[in-house]
Structures are given as C-alpha cells and as structure tokens.
C-alpha cells in the first residue's frame, strides 16, 4: 500500500511537467509492479515431481497465438506422474485428436483453474469416468463438464500420466493457470513458480529492424525494413549504428530468453521502448484472454514470418488493435524524424527475474538518395481494413466483412484456369471471410463429393463447404489460392503386421493406420464381434489403437471390423479375423 501511494505521489508531481499521456503510461508500470503481488505465492505445487525445465514459457510466440502456459519437459518420455496443483474438483475434461489432446481442468476454491494438457491418460476415477463416457457416446473424442461435488481432488493427488497427445510435437506437459470467472490466462510465475526456476541470463536480441512507416519515408536509404547493426559495449549494453531517416519510422526486434536449467530459447517477458527518455511502446506478458490470441499476427511482421519463419516483434502499430498487454503513446510507438533534430531510441528487454538487455539507437535526419526501392507485389485493388468489400470475378464471389484485416493493403485478386487467387498468405486475416463459386458443369452426384479447397504447392486443405443448387460456399481465414476439389477417393486402412487367422494372445493392443489424401477423415468406428470398441486416434502417426484391457475381446475367435469415412462421405471397411486367449500362461 505504501509503495503504491508513493508511486501515485510521484505521478502527481510528474503531471505538473508532462502531458497526461505520459502519466497514463507510467500508471501502467505501477499496475504491472503491483499485479505481481496480487496472486497467492504458495498455494499451488508443481504438477510434476521432477525439477522444472521449460520447453515453452508463458507468452511465447506461436502460430496464430501466444503460448498460454508452461510446457514442462518430461525427460523426453511419456508416463510421468501428473499431480493436482491444489485441492479442488475436476470441472472439465476434453479428449481431442488435435489441439491440447487429452486435457483435464481443475477448478480451485481460491478462484483459479489449472489445466493439464497433452496427457497420455488420466488415472483412477477420472479415467473410469472418461472411458465410461466414451463407450456411452461411442466416440474417442468427448468433452465432459462436472459439478463441484462430483470429481473432487486433493493437492498432490495423482490425476494423470504425461503424454504427447493432440498437436504436441514431443512428450511434455502443458500447464496453465486461469481465472475461473473471466477465463483469462495468467503467467504461472506470478504464483510462486519462479521459485522452481533459476535464471541469471539476460534475454538475447538476435536482431533489430527499422521500418519505414509510409511510402515517403526512407531508413538508411531504403524504403524497406532494414536490419541495424549492434555493437556490444564494455558495460554489457548494445549500441546500434546510427539510423538515418526522414519521416515516420518504427522499430522491431527478434528476441528470445533462456534460463539456467532449461537450455531452450523461449519467449521474452517484458519489452519497453523510449525515445529521448519518453516511453513510446511496451508490453509485458502478465495475463490475456483467448479472444486476443490472434493479434499476434499484427504484433509481428507477419509477411517476413511467412517467408522466413522469423518473428520480428514490432514496437509500434500502424492502427490500434485490442491486445490488452500493449501500452503505447498517442503516436502508437512511431517516431517522427524531422530536420534539424536528432534523438536516441532505447529498447529494454527483460525477463521476469529482471535480467535486462539494453539497446541504444542514435537517430538522425537524412535525405540521401534511395538505394533500396520499396518491394512491389502484384495488386489490382486497394483494401481499407475497416470497410466491407464484395468482389465478383468470373463465377467467383468473395466477401470481406469490415475488419477482416488489421491494416490497409493492396490486394491481388484474379481467376485463372478455374483457380481463384486471393493475394497470398503474407497478409494476416483476423476473422472469417466468405468465398462462393458457381458451378453448373458437374452432375448432382459429383457435387455431393466436392468442396472448396485451398490449393498451395500441390497440397489441398479442406474447408467446410455448403452446396445449394449450383453455389458452393465456404468461410475461410487465410488468403491464397482456392479451387473446387472433387473427392471420390476412399480412405485407406492398413495394418502393419497382418493378424488374419493368427493367435495374438501376447499382444496388449490392436493397431491400425488410417489416412485420407483429400478432404480428410471425418469419422471412424471399430467393432469386435459386432460390438463397438474404443480406438484412440493419433493424428500425428495416423494410428488407431485399441487396448484389450477394455474387456471386449472374446476368448478364442474374434472378428474385427473398422469403418472410416472422409469429409465427403467416401468410406472404407476393413475386416479381419484373429484368435486370442485371455488366459496367459
């Protein structure tokens, strides 16, 4: 309280000297400092009993989203015990072939919910409930919700085994802490998890870029973004080569952070930028909502990311967007470089433990001749992001609702050989837009097997498509090339080691592979002796697995039947007969 009162007193003093926008910016920093003290520090335990090593941290930049929690390393293997971080009750379970895979949510009486994802399996009563519901719904993918008195857990109770399910790219445990009411995700470091992690290392800034922000501005004789050379100083800070510009510019960084024990290049916690000592732009990864996730695509230089996989984090914005972690001045972080004035731009990159990397960039006015021209792309329409548009070309119609895009841009739209070209995927899309195409050349039966697909480099991506008479309609969220795709090819079912007519008493599982080349798999069902059985699907390996411990298999002869259907209704049936004894000698 006294610290907060002291800061307010300082702000009042500053108010007499500076404009109100600075006060609002400084008030943000005050709130940041106090926010770290509002969460319980010793309420939650670690969900694992091994030393904490992170392969991903909170706020790390990922495709189309910020990382929502911690990725715990699990010693490159599955099957580690996962424990409830505190007392509470299991409020939700979601079993999915994508995303977080097998996930358990525990709601705690202190107002927070913890999330445990990519699990191999739950254990005890939790697993019993899951398995029972899967057989009731005859589906591997299920979502369950519970009341406070149904699945109660205690702090440290074994709830699951760690795994690699869903979109996981390797064995690990994804762990989150959420506000139970608002669903906002919160950085676990605020809850005392910093005590499990040693970090004495400064964040690493791999590159700094300067961006011309209009068509009249050049930076170092370039109308394109340019990298700025950095030199390490004796005091550990960095001094950049002078930036020579003549208009409105902005800066961006490529930065990562490491700690003393994890050895991964993870995301940075805090970035602040100043011009001549005045704060211009900053953000800190404290908490945010899932609705804000996609704004990552406008916070980074999205075009460069799509071309090179480099994520340049911008320290400015050309148009405001609703990402709550960003605090900026009235110029949205942009710097106006004018004649007869020079300035100093400073970037501070810090981790949660206040290890800092400091960069100083001298800026001067310059009007030398342009050496590097602006990069040009084919275009025939100019899009204003805040407006709605409808384009009709040949038998295609494209409708962009207002605010589909983040910024204005030049759009390339054309139709060639029955393929619609909608610019390319270097321009980020925030919300769905609609594509329609008229087709009267195919038969009614053929139309039932057709969808609007994105076609890039010989690869086809399925989009949910509705058909009414001759009109195909799809809502999509990515620019690129689109065409009508006919899919009359059945899915493929295969088994690695044939079991036809064999005794497989020693096997604990049945495994098959399923695959569909065009529209993708919509459903799969398996039966033993005409009784539905649970088969878990791993989309990464394309494998279906049945565990004989479910107790469906019969003594002696068994007939297995598997039916797989793709999105267009094409189906394949696989049948085989095998023998198994339940008495293992």
pLDDT, tens only, 16-43: 444 444 444 444 445 444 455 689 999 9
245/557 Cα distance (integer angstroms): 80
Q: Cα dist. 129→90, 134, 146, 480 in Å?
A: 11, 9, 11, 44
Q: Is the pLDDT of residue 393 over 90?
A: yes
Tokens read off for 228: 């700025």
Q: What is the pLDDT of residue 13?
A: 43
pLDDT, tens only, 75-95: 999 999 999 999 999 999 999
Q: Residues 191-219: what's their mean pLDDT?
A: 95
Tokens read off for 277: 């000592």
pLDDT, tens only, 312-321: 999 999 999 9
Q: What is the pLDDT of residue 583?
A: 72
522/101 Cα distance (integer angstroms): 17
Q: What is the pLDDT of residue 263?
A: 85
Q: Residues 299-311: what's their mean pLDDT?
A: 96
pLDDT, tens only, 452-505: 999 988 899 999 999 999 999 999 999 999 999 999 999 999 999 999 999 999
Which pLDDT band, with edges at 50, 70 and 90, does 377 fall under?
A: confident
Q: What is the pLDDT of residue 238?
A: 98
Q: Cα dist. 251→276, 324, 329, 358, 360 in Å?
A: 15, 20, 15, 14, 12
Residue 277 zone, left/alpha/beta (φ > 0; ψ -120 to 50; rest): left
Q: What is the pLDDT of residue 585?
A: 54
Q: Residues 144-158: what's their mean pLDDT?
A: 97
Q: Is the pLDDT of residue 438 over 80?
A: yes
Give the angle subtended at the CA of 334 by the CAs of 328 and 336, to the nearest 5°: 135
Q: What is the rounded end-to-end Cα distance, in angstroms, of the chain?
A: 72
CB 481 within 8 Å of CB 456? yes
Look at residue 225 and give its three-state secondary structure. coil
Among residues 98, 96, 97, 102, the alpha carbon closest in space to that of 126 is found at 102
Q: What is the pLDDT of residue 10?
A: 41
pLDDT, tens only, 81-136: 999 999 999 999 999 999 999 999 999 999 999 999 999 999 999 999 999 999 99
122/104 Cα distance (integer angstroms): 8
CB 416 within 8 Å of CB 383? no
Q: Residues 514-541: what's their mean pLDDT?
A: 96
Q: Residues 162-187: what's their mean pLDDT?
A: 96
Q: What is the pLDDT of residue 194?
A: 95
Q: What is the pLDDT of residue 367?
A: 87
pTM value is 0.91
Q: Is the pLDDT of residue 287 over 80?
A: yes
User: Residues near 47 by Cβ (< 8 Å), separated by ≥ 6?
Assistant: 72, 82, 83, 84, 85, 114, 116, 173, 175
Among residues 251, 255, 254, 253, the alpha carbon closest in space to that of 212 is found at 251
Q: Residues 561-584: what's their mean pLDDT?
A: 94
User: Residues near 258 by Cβ (< 8 Å), separated by ≥ 6?
Assistant: 201, 204, 264, 265, 266
Q: What is the pLDDT of residue 338?
A: 94
Q: What is the pLDDT of residue 37?
A: 60
């Amino acid at each position: 309280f006294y610290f907060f009162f002291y800061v307010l007193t300082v702000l009042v003093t500053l108010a007499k000297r500076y404009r109100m926008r600075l006060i609002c910016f400084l008030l943000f920093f005050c709130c940041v400092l106090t926010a770290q003290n509002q969460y319980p520090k010793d309420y939650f335990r670690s969900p694992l009993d091994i030393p904490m090593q992170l392969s991903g941290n909170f706020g790390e930049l990922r495709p189309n989203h910020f990382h929502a929690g911690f990725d715990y390393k699990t010693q490159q293997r599955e099957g580690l015990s996962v424990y409830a971080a505190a007392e509470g009750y299991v409020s939700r379970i979601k079993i999915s072939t994508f995303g977080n895979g097998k996930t358990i949510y525990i709601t705690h009486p202190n107002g927070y919910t913890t999330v445990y994802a990519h699990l191999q399996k739950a254990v005890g009563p939790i697993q019993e409930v899951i398995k029972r519901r899967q057989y009731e719904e005859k589906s591997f993918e299920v979502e369950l919700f519970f009341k406070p008195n149904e699945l109660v857990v205690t702090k440290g109770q074994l709830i699951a085994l760690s795994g690699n399910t869903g979109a996981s790219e390797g064995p690990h445990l994804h762990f989150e802490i959420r506000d139970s009411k608002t669903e906002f995700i919160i950085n676990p470091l605020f809850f005392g998890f910093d005590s499990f992690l040693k970090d004495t290392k400064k964040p690493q800034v791999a590159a700094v870029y300067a961006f011309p922000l209009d068509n009249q501005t050049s930076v170092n004789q370039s109308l394109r973004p340019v990298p700025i050379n950095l030199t390490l100083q004796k005091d550990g800070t960095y001094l950049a080569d002078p930036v020579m510009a003549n208009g409105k510019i902005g800066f961006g960084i490529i930065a990562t952070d490491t700690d003393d024990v994890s050895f991964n290049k993870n995301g940075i916690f805090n970035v602040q930028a100043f011009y001549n000592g005045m704060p211009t732009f900053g953000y800190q990864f404290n908490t945010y909502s899932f609705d804000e996730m996609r704004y990552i695509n406008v916070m980074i230089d999205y075009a460069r990311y799509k071309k090179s996989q480099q994520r340049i984090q911008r320290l400015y914005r050309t148009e405001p967007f609703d990402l709550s972690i960003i605090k900026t001045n009235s110029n949205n972080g942009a710097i106006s470089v004018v004649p007869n004035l020079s300035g100093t731009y400073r970037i501070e990159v810090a981790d949660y433990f206040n290890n800092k990397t400091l960069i100083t960039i001298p800026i001067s006015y310059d009007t030398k001749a342009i050496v590097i021209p602006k990069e040009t792309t084919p275009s025939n329409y100019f899009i204003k992001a805040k407006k709605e548009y409808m384009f009709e070309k040949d038998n295609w119609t494209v409708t962009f609702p207002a605010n589909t895009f983040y910024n204005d841009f030049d759009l390339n739209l054309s139709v060639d050989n029955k393929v619609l070209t909608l610019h390319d995927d270097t321009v980020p899309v925030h919300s769905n837009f609609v594509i329609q195409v008229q087709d009267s050349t195919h038969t009614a039966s053929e139309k039932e097997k057709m969808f609007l697909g994105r076609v890039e480099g010989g690869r086809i991506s399925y989009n949910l498509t509705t058909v009414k008479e001759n009109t195909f309609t799809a809502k999509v969220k990515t620019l690129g090339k689109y065409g009508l795709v006919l899919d009359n090819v059945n899915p493929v079912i295969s088994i690695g080691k044939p079991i036809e007519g064999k005794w497989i008493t020693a096997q604990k599982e049945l495994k098959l592979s399923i695959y569909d080349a065009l529209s993708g798999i919509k459903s799969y069902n398996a039966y033993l002796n005409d009784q539905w059985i649970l088969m878990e699907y791993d989309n990464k390996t394309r494998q279906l697995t049945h565990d004989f411990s479910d107790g469906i298999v019969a003594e002696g002869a068994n007939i297995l039947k598997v039916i797989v259907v793709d999105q267009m209704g094409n189906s394949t049936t696989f049948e085989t007969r095998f023998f198994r004894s339940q008495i293992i000698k």
